[in-house]
Amino acid sequence: MMKKLYLITGAAGHLGSTLIRLLKKRDAELRGLLLPGEKGEDTEELHYTEGDVRDKESLRPFFEGARERETYLIHTAGIVDIGGEVSQRLYDVNVKGTKNILELAGEYGVKRLVYVSSVHAIPEKDPVSVITETDHFSPEEVNGGYAKTKAEATQAVLDAAAAGLDAVVVHPSGILGPYNRAGNYLVQMVLNYMDGVLPACVRGGYDFVDVRDVAMGCILAAERGKKGECYILSNRRYEISEVLEMVRISAGGRRLPVLPMWMARAAAPFMQWYARRKKERPLYTAYSLYTLSSNSRFSHDKATRELGYSPRDLLVTVRDTVRWHRLQGECPC
């Protein structure tokens, strides 16, 4: 009997690489999609191929043989952007790239596709209601370029499911955790604090979740999810000051001043200018500050009930993040 085949796009990313770590422990064959120039080490059960989701023909080696196997595709590849606008690159990767994946998943007879959307694709409604899953997505109903592209792509996935493709959607909240060197904004915030270069904390918060819990939620969605359904993979809301206090407890450091939101918004242009001079990505932008003051009361009850999803306490996540980066020699001891 042939082993299950898991296809993971965005295999070098935070979530994609964590998925591969978890799936290595299962009796399955893995194939990871890397961008040209990204590195991955093949093993007996894991093989990497190069391709770009924007170029449909470049993806064919990634899908080779999928029709003859029990194949599960987890599409994590995408750009997370807190700049606020829909750039051409953002649209091409998040929307057009997802549509290319959908077309090839149908062409190659993939058994199930799990699309990694985002809670940002879900309309906020009002400031106090608990946010649950929805079955319709529109760029006009959400704010920010990233949210708009994820909403459009998510609706494309649901349309494909309605047309016959076995597809499931998961919506992670703000991902934090080990196994990431540079790409994740929340990990960048933790490392900046540990390096002593984070000048202040902002009053505000969001729902933060461990990358390992999201990865397991994706696997559970592949195994137990219902075709055409959406599942929120969240944890609970934490203040930014709470998260940085967890880092301080785990790694040491000083308590930072907490800026009220009006002051942070006023200072955001300067902080972006300063980050550009340092050749770093700005953490505080108009869109990221909007997000930290938005309604982030997400319910993962459906994922818990139908998939068996269970997120861990964020203090464990922060401690493991600090420990992993220290082992990589990437932050002070």
Quick: pLDDT tens for 215-245: 999 999 999 999 999 999 999 999 999 999 9
* C-alpha to C-alpha distance for 125 and 292, rounded to whole angstroms: 16
pLDDT of res. 262: 58
pLDDT of res. 100: 98
Mean pLDDT of 33-61: 94
Question: Which residues does 225 contact at the CB level (< 8 Å), separation at least 6?
Answer: 112, 114, 168, 231, 306, 307
Nearest to 218 by CA among 64, 15, 67, 33: 15
H/E segment holding residue 21: helix 14-23
* Angle made by CA atoms 30, 33, 39, in degrees to the nearest 5: 100
Q: So where are the chain's domains? A: 4-177+208-236+297-312
Which pLDDT band holds residue 278 (cuts at 50, 70, 90)? low
Looking at per-residue confidence, does 324 or 192 come out higher?
A: 324
Mean pLDDT of 6-18: 96
Mean pLDDT of 117-146: 93
The yes-or-no verdict on residue 142 having pLDDT over 70 is: yes
* C-alpha to C-alpha distance for 101 and 157, rounded to whole angstroms: 10
Specify the residue for token string 């082992």.
327
Looking at per-residue confidence, does 260 or 58 come out higher?
A: 58
Looking at per-residue confidence, does 130 or 126 come out higher?
A: 130
Mean pLDDT, the chain, rounded, equals 89
* C-alpha to C-alpha distance for 177 and 14, rounded to whole angstroms: 9
Specify the residue for token string 């819990």.
213
Beta-strand runs (E) in the chain: 4-9, 28-34, 46-50, 71-75, 112-116, 167-172, 174-176, 201-202, 205-210, 230-233, 236-239, 258-259
pLDDT of res. 268: 63
pLDDT 10s digits, 67-89: 999 999 999 999 988 777 889 99
pLDDT of res. 155: 98
3-state helix, strand, coil in the chain (%, to 5): 45, 15, 40
Tell me the C-alpha to C-alpha distance, in Å, between residue 170 and each of 44, 86, 244, 251: 29, 22, 27, 32
pLDDT of res. 333: 44
- In sequence order, the β-bridge partners of residue 44 are none
Q: For residues 192 and 226, is the Cβ–Cβ distance under 8 A?
A: no
Q: In this predicted structure, which of 1-5, 114-118, 159-163, 206-210 has the lowest mean pLDDT?
A: 1-5
pLDDT of res. 291: 79
Secondary-structure class of domain 4-177+208-236+297-312 per CATH: alpha beta
Which pLDDT band holds residue 255 (cuts at 50, 70, 90)? confident
Question: Which residues does 34 contact at the CB level (< 8 Å), separation at least 6?
Answer: 11, 12, 40, 48, 49, 50, 51
User: Distance from CA of residue 92 to its chain's centroid?
Assistant: 17
The yes-or-no verdict on residue 133 having pLDDT over 60 is: yes
